[in-house]
Amino acid sequence: MANKASDQFILKNNNGIEITFAAHGGRLVSAIVPSAGGEKADVLVGYDTVDEALKGDLFFGALCGRYANRIVGGKFELDGETIQLDVNNGPNHLHGGNEGFNQRIWDVEEINKEGCTSAFRLTLVSPDGDQKYPGELKVNVVYSLNDNNEFKIEYEAETTKSTVINLTSHPYFNLTGDLKQSAADHLLTINANAFTPIDPKVETCNGEVAEVNGTPMDFTTEKPIREAVSSDFDQIKMVDGLDHNFVVNKEGANIARVAVLREPVSGRTLEVFTDQPGLQVYTGNHFDGSEIGKNGVPVQKYCGVALETQIFPNSPNHENYPNAVLRPGEKYKHNCIYRFGF
C-alpha cells in the first residue's frame, strides 16, 4: 500500500539511539541520542510534528535530488545537447528543482540488514522528464542503524537515458539537543585541504578549486565553527557563514572519515564517513527566527550544521569536477555514515 506523506518510521539500537523519518522526502525528523552523562536529547533541527514539517522548511532532514546543490542557470551540455532545468534559487537550479525528491512521498519497507538493529528501504521512480531531467530514474535508499551507533545512508540509482545525478541528505545537527544554543560553538574538523570557492557572479562554484591553508576555511585541525563564521574572509562574508563544498582528502571510491563535529558540554560527537569526493558544509545562514522549530524555539542563524556528502556544486558544467553523468546500464552508488559518539 502506498505511504501517506505523514507516515513515520523509527530506527532504534540498543544504546538508546532512535531516529525517526517520514515518507515525505524521506525526511529525518528527529534523532534521539544520549549524552556522555546518559541524557537523551534530539539532535536534529526541525519541527515538533510531521504536519508542521510538511508545511515548513522544505529541506530539513530531507533526501535531495536529482541534483542536490546548485547548477548554474539550471543549464548544462550532455552529449552535445543543452539541458535546461528549472531555475528555483535566484539564477540557479537547487536541490533538484521545485518538486525535488524532498517533496516526494517515498515508498518505504522495513528490511533485515545484517549487523543492523533497524533498516528500511526507501524507493522512488522519477519519470523521464521529471523536473526536465532526462531518463526514468529508479532510486533506492537504505537507512540503517547498528550498535556501533552508525546511521548509514546507502543510495543507488539507475537510469533509462544518460542523465546527471547527485543525491544527498540534508539534516542539520545541533549536538547540544537544545535549539536555543548555537551550533557555531560546536568544534569541527574537516579532512579537506581544498574547497571550491563561490563565484559571486554565478552564486555558486565556477570550476575553481582553492587551498584552505592559511584561510578560515582550514578545518584540518579541530576548531570552533564560530572562528570561521565570524571572520572577515570574503568567501564567508559573501554567504554570511559557511555554505561551501570541501574537497575531501581521499583517493578513489573507498569510504573515509571526512568530518568530525564535537560538542564538548554534552560530550556528543558526530563522525561523517563517505565515498563521495565532496562535503557541503552549511551553517543555516539564511535562518532569521521567522521559522518556529521544535519546542516553540525560533530557528536562528547557525542553529545547526548540515554536513552533506556529495559531488561538487555545478559539476555538470566543469570537467575538472567529479563526474555527474549516469548512463543506462551503470549504477549510481553513494554511501554516507553518520556515527554518533557520546
- Nearer to ligand BGC by Cβ, of 88 and 117: the residue is 88
> What is the b/e burial string over 138-163, where b = at least 16 CB atoms within 10 angstroms of the residue's CB?
ebebbbbbbeebbbbbbbbbbbebeb
Interface of this chain with ligand BGC, residues 223 to 252, rule: CB under 6 A: 243
Among residues 57, 54, 35, 34, which one has the least CA distance to residue 45?
57
Among the options 170, 186, 244, 318, which is catalytic? 170
Region binding ligand BGC by CB under 6 A among candidate stretches 41-49, 131-139, 186-194, 280-288: 280-288
Binder of ligand BGC out of 280, 300, 314, 315 (CB under 6 A) = 280
The question of whether 308 is a catalytic residue gets the answer yes
Q: How many residues bind ligand BGC (CB under 6 A)?
A: 7
**Residue 184 to residue 243: CA distance in whole angstroms:** 13
Q: Does 101 bind ligand BGC (CB under 6 A)?
A: no
What is the closest distance, in whole angstroms, from the C-beta atom of residue 46 to ligand BGC in the complex? 13
Q: What is the DSSP string of 22-37?
A: ESBTT-EEEEEEE-TT
Identify the residue among 286, 297, 298, 325 touching ligand BGC (CB under 6 A): 286
Any contact of residue 76 with ligand BGC (CB under 6 A)? no
In this complex, which beta carbon is closest to ligand BGC, that of residue 243 or of residue 291?
A: 243
For residue 301, state whether it binds ligand BGC (rule: CB under 6 A).
no
Under DSSP, the state recorded for 252 is T
Q: What are the cell numbers at 245?
A: 563544498
Stretch that binds ligand BGC, among 113-121, 251-259, 278-286, 320-328 (CB under 6 A): 278-286
The reply to whether 170 belongs to the active site is yes
Tell whether residue 181 is a contact of ligand BGC (CB under 6 A).
no
Say how far apart CA 43 and CA 340 lie, in whole Å.
Answer: 10
Which three three-digit cell numbers place residue 251?
Answer: 583517493
Distance CA 254, CA 274 (A): 8
Q: Could you give the CA distance from residue 40 to residue 17 in angstroms, rounded to a whole number?
A: 8
- For 145, residues 6+ apart whose C-beta sits below 8 A from its C-beta are 11, 12, 13, 17, 19, 116, 117, 118, 119, 151, 152
From 271, 308, 318, 334, active-site residue:
308
| CB of 237 or CB of 331, closer to ligand BGC | 237
Q: Which of residues 33-72 bind ligand BGC (CB under 6 A)?
A: 59
**Residues pairing with 198 in the sheet:** 205
By Cβ distance, which residue is nearest to ligand BGC? 59
Q: In the complex, what is the shortest distance from the CB of residue 308 to ligand BGC, in angstroms, rounded to a whole number?
A: 6
Nearest to 252 by CA among 277, 280, 278: 277
Single out the segment in contact with ligand BGC by CB under 6 A; choices: 30-38, 105-113, 125-133, 279-287: 279-287
Residue numbers of the site for ligand BGC (CB under 6 A)?
59, 243, 280, 282, 286, 306, 308
Q: What are the residue numbers of the active site?
A: 170, 308
